[in-house]
Chain A
Amino acid sequence: MTPLTGYLLVAALLFSIGLAGALTRRNAILVLIGIELMLNAANLNLIAFWRYGPHPEALTGMMFAIFSIAVAAAEAAVGLGLVIQIHRHAHTTDLDQMNRMKG
């Protein structure tokens, strides 16, 4: 198993764990945490490919990952702000109870 494969598998595992958490936990904040974890797994993928790819000197992978970090941070901020606002209205962060958009 090449190092790259190892990193990729780790990233895949992290991704799945994050997804599992996002799909199963009740609290909205924990869903966001799961999403952060998924994003981080993707970042790891990017860096790994940058490192073991053909042209690391082009910095493509690294740049991608940096931007991803920035965007993730922004998104976390907005998301958490929304959760806080929802909590003010519904007095709960339980996702199971948030089905007002039910068809």
Chain B
Amino acid sequence: MSIVFYLLAALTVAGGLAAMLLKNMVHCVLALTVAFAGLALLFLKLDAQFAGFAQILVYIGAVAILVVFAILLTRGSETPKDGVFSRSWLIGLVIAAAVFAVLGWAVLQSARVLPHETAIPVVTVKQIGAALVGRYVLPLEIVAVLLTAAMIGAVIVAMHENVGHEKEGSK
């Protein structure tokens, strides 16, 4: 395992941890962005260049910004009085630890049968495009519909209150 891998892994995990542990919401989002970046770099290390750039574009470019907007709109920057963690945070932690234990165990259990390094695949955008409209055309269309629906839905859901209440009142 190369050193690069360890560094990138550390970065990602650190970002994730920070995202979960920090009190200030905006700091959490920024940490999340760091985690996304680390993940993108890991994708690049894994020779999945398209996936990596898509990750940067979508996640860092859209999702993170979206989350920031949401935080700003919900006054999440204010620190709540009772603390940021729920009352029963320990149980949650334990459960998460249990999940990690199981997953780790599964991975290590089958470590022997996992294949070794293979040849570096070369994936061009052209191949991806061809696959998208060839083999994966159905998922593509469905995802398109899904995105459309999600967009419309999000707009309706987050629409301003007066309009929403008027609409409810007249029903």
Contacts and interface: CB of A to CB of B under 8 A. Distances in A.
Q: Indicate if A touches B (C-beta under 8 A).
A: yes
Interface in A57-103: 57, 59, 62-63, 65-67, 69-78, 80-85, 87-88, 93-96
- Give the size category of A's interface with B: 35 or more
Contacts of A4: 114-115
A29 B16 contact: no
Indicate the member of B48, B67, B164 with the most A CB atoms within 10 Å. B48
A63 B131 contact: yes
B118 interface: yes
B151 to A, nearest CB: 7
Contacts of B32: 33, 36-37
Interface string A17-52: 111110111110110111011001001100110111
- Give the size category of B's interface with A: 35 or more
Contacts of A21: 19-20
Contacts of A83: 70, 74
Interface string B55-93: 100110011001101110111100010111111010111
Main secondary structure of the interface of A (DSSP, over half): helix
Interface of B: 1, 5, 9, 12-13, 16-17, 19-20, 25, 28-29, 32, 35-36, 39, 42-43, 46-48, 50-51, 54-55, 58-59, 62-63, 66-67, 69-71, 73-76, 80, 82-87, 89, 91-93, 95-97, 99-100, 103-104, 107-108, 111, 114-118, 121, 123, 127-128, 131-132, 136, 139, 143, 146-147, 150-151, 153-155, 157-158, 161, 164
17 contacts: A3-B117, A4-B115, A15-B99, A15-B103, A16-B99, A24-B89, A24-B92, A26-B86, A36-B32, A37-B19, A44-B42, A52-B115, A67-B136, A70-B147, A74-B150, A82-B158, A94-B80
